[in-house]
Amino acid sequence: MATKHLPYDERITSPLLFFYPMFHPIYDQITNEKRNFFQDSLKVKRLTPNSAEVYIHIPFCDSFCHMCACYKTHTPKDVREMKDYVEKLKREIAYYAGSEYVQSLDIQCVHIGGGTPSALTSALLYDLLTFVRDSFSLKPDTEITVEGEVCSLKNKEKINSLRKAGCNRISFGIQTFNPLSRKLSGLISTREEIKECIKNLRGFEYQINFDLMFGLPGQSFKVWEEDLAQALDMGADGLDVYELVLYPTTKLFQFRHKVSLVDDDERLDMLEYAIKYLNQNGFEQKSNAVFEKPNNMWNKISIYYNAPSYPDCIAIGDNAIGCINNFAYRNHSPIDMYMAWDESPNLPIRLGLKLDEEDQLAKRIWILPKLLKIKKKNVEDVMSHYQEPLNLLFQKGLIREDEEHISLTDLGLLWTDNIFMEFTPQKQKNRMWKIMY
C-alpha cells in the first residue's frame, strides 16, 4: 500500500511533536532565580499582541488504558478530594488571570485535558468552567474543549452541565471498535455504550470528535479498515488519528512480546490508507493527526497557523506543561506534591527552562510538520536559519513551496516526525528519552 519511495531508513515516532522543549529532570529543576525571573515577567504587559491558549490538566482516570503514557492517577473515591483539586486549580487560574502579561494576551481557546476530565462530577465541571470563563474574561464564542471517555460522557446530566458552563466542543477516546483489540488495550466501554454516548452528545447538539489509534495489539490492517468505516458509520465529524507509540512506562510495553503487533511497514500502510480514505469521505487533514469535516469546530489550528509569533500556552494543574513569554515550565507532580502547594506567592512549578534563540526558532518552524503547512511571511527569518534542512526536505520530496506557503507533500504526510527531527536542536534530541519520566 505505502509508496515504495522511502526517504529515511527508519520512520520515527517522536513525542517532540507534543512536548517541546524537552525537560531534564535534574538540570531543569526550578531554582529561586528562574522562578523569580518567570514570575517577574508576568508582571509586565506584553508590548505586541499575541494569541494564547489555556490548558488545564485533570489527572483522574477510572481505569488505565494499557497503551496510555499520559500523566494520570486513579479517580479518588471521595469526591471531596476532587473538589480540593479543583480549588487548587482555581487558585492557580486566578494567579495567571491576575497578571499583567496574561491580561494582555488574546486567549482564543481553552482545552481541558487529562487524564479524564469527565471523571469530575457535573457540579465540579460546571464550577471549573464558569470560573475559567469569568477569570480570563473569555469571549462568548471562545472554543472550550473538554476531553472525556465514553462511560462518563454518556451521562446526560454531565453533558448538560458542560454545555451550560460554556463547553462547545467535546473530544473522547474510542481508539478501536474491535472487541479483541479493545480487550488487549484495556479499553473497557462496550460498543453499545459508545453508541449511547454518541446519541446523547448529538442530543445536546455537540459535534462528534473522537480518537482512533492504529498499531494496537490485535489490530490487523483489515481491522483498521473496519475501524475507520465504523467511525464514519457512527457519524464522526472530527477524528484524531494516532499511531501507537510503545512508551516504557505503559502496561502494553511490559507485555509487548505476548501480543500481536503490526510491524513498521504495515503501520505506514495503515496511515496512508487512513489519509486517503478520510479524504475520499469528506474529511480534511488539518494537522498531522487531526481530520475534520467542513464546518466542524476546531479553531485551535488558526491560533498557530496565523500567529506571526509562537502562541503562549498557559498550563494549569498537576504536571501541566506550558510556555509563557518564552519560558517553558512543568508543574509539580505527583498529585500529592501539587496539592501540597501552599498558595504562597510562588507558582507550583518544579521544572523551568528559558528558551534560547535556537529553541524559539525551532518552535516556530515546528508548525510546518504539525499543521502540514506554514505561512512564509511569518517565518522569513526562520527559513534562513533552517535553509539546509529545508533544502534536504525538498530533495527528498517531502515538502513543496508556492508563493505563500511551504507545505508537506503526500509523501511528507507519512513522515511528519522525521521532518520535525530535521529542525530539532541536538540538545533537545538528547533529552527525548526523558519525556515520560
Q: Where in the chain is the domain with CATH 3.80.30.20?
A: 20-305
CATH number at 1-19+372-437: 1.10.10
Q: Is the dihedral of CA 287, 293, 311, 387 positive or negative?
A: positive
DSSP-derived pairing of the beta strands 51-58 and 312-316: parallel
23: confidence class by pLDDT, cuts 50, 70, 90: confident
Distance CA 116, CA 416 (A): 27
Cα(65)–Cα(188) distance, integer angstroms = 8
Decide if pLDDT at 337 tops 70: yes
> What is the predicted pLDDT for the residue at 18?
67
Residue 437 has pLDDT above 50, yes or no: no
CA distance 13 to 416: 9
pLDDT tens profile 195-221: 999 999 999 999 999 999 999 999 999
Please report which residue ranges of 307-356 form alpha helices under DSSP H: 335-339
Q: What is the pLDDT of residues 93-141, one digit of tens each?
A: 999 999 999 999 999 999 999 999 999 999 999 999 999 999 999 998 8
Cell of 108: 482564543
- pTM beyond 0.85, yes or no: yes
CATH 1.10.10 boundaries in the chain: 1-19+372-437
Whole-number Å distance between alpha carbons of 169 and 171: 7
The confidence band for 430, taking pLDDT boundaries of 50, 70 and 90, is confident
Counting runs of H as helices and runs of E as strands, what totals does the chain give? 19, 17
d(CA 324, CA 309): 12
Protein fold of 20-305: pyruvate-formate lyase- activating enzyme (3.80.30)
CB-based contacts of 151, cutoff 8 Å, min separation 6: 62, 188, 189, 193, 197
Q: Which of 274, 276, 332, 261 is nearest to 66 (CA)?
A: 261
Q: CB of 409 within 8 A of CB of 3?
A: no
For residue 417, the SS3 value is helix
